[in-house]
Amino acid sequence: MRSLACAVALALTACGGAADTAGREVGFRLAAESMPSGDRPPGSFVTRTGWTVTLEEAAVAIGPVYLLSEPPPSARRHRAWEWLVQRAWAHSGFDDFDGGEVRGEYLGRFVIDAVRAGPQPISMSRGVAGRVRSVTLELQPPASASPSLHGHQAWVRGVAVRGEETIPFEGGLDLPEAGTVRKVVGIATDVDLDDGVMVVIELHPERWLSEADFSALPKPSGGDERRTMEPGTQPWDAWYLGARAYGTFTFRGER
């Protein structure tokens, strides 16, 4: 990807007087929102494995974030006209996906509260006007300790219910630095970046635990009924995959 600094410099040099054209420098807001699943509040959902989950605490550290000019690998028919004129997008692997030019970026870290409704402001940022067709974000550890993360990169605490079974659980997720494990590359979007636009990172926490079978969590040996999601347990593996899976993050732009 071409750096934003270069792009902004070019925009200022080449497009100084063209206020209404793509390529000029703009200010935009970046925010995050935990999205509800159906009519339920954020953090309440039913898994594919049949568990009704209510998260009491849930958070994840995110950043950096890059807003990119090129369409993502999987954005088939992302716009209505593409139903008529089919286009082909890169796919399968993503390791070769470049993303084109950086229209906007946020290089810090922030923590999304996944049980809080509504947009959570992150920053005011500078970028380059134009269409953003994909976003790449990273799930790096927070720059400073956050109580909501309990020392991890992500944290959940909640209750899962299936039939007669009720299982309180909690646990932290940490992603290894290896390869691209901490990257979510080429998330589809279609935002016209311009002055005053708010770009919203939409987190879908139901994707985290969709494949989790909470009955696989070992019962604690003490008196506490709350079970621990930790590496080596099936629900933790489901979360490890779900935290970075296709559809866990989406983006929208609004004014």
Rounded least distance, CB 213 to another protein, Å: 7
Interacting residue ranges for another protein, rule: CB under 8 A: 73-74, 76, 88-97, 178-181, 183-187, 211-213, 232, 234, 237-238, 240-242, 244-248
List Cα–Cα distances, 39 to 35, 44, 45, 115, 164, in angstroms: 11, 9, 9, 14, 23
Rounded least distance, CB 238 to another protein, Å: 4
Cβ nearer to another protein, comparing 57 with 237: 237
Rounded least distance, CB 5 to another protein, Å: 26
Cβ nearer to another protein, comparing 96 with 164: 96
* Cβ count near 182 (within 10 Å): 18
**Nearest by Cα to 185 from 119, 95, 64:** 95
CB 157 within 8 A of CB 209: no
Cβ nearer to another protein, comparing 1 with 15: 1
Length of the chain as a residue count: 255
Centroid of chain to Cα 13: 34
List Cα–Cα distances, 189 to 119, 138, 180, 197, 229, in angstroms: 17, 16, 21, 14, 32
Cβ nearer to another protein, comparing 127 with 242: 242
Helix (H, G, I), strand (E, B) or coil at 125: strand
Rounded least distance, CB 172 to another protein, Å: 18
- 235 phi/psi in degrees, rounded to 5: -60, -35
Rounded least distance, CB 239 to another protein, Å: 9
Cβ nearer to another protein, comparing 49 with 125: 49
- 167 phi/psi in degrees, rounded to 5: -125, 105
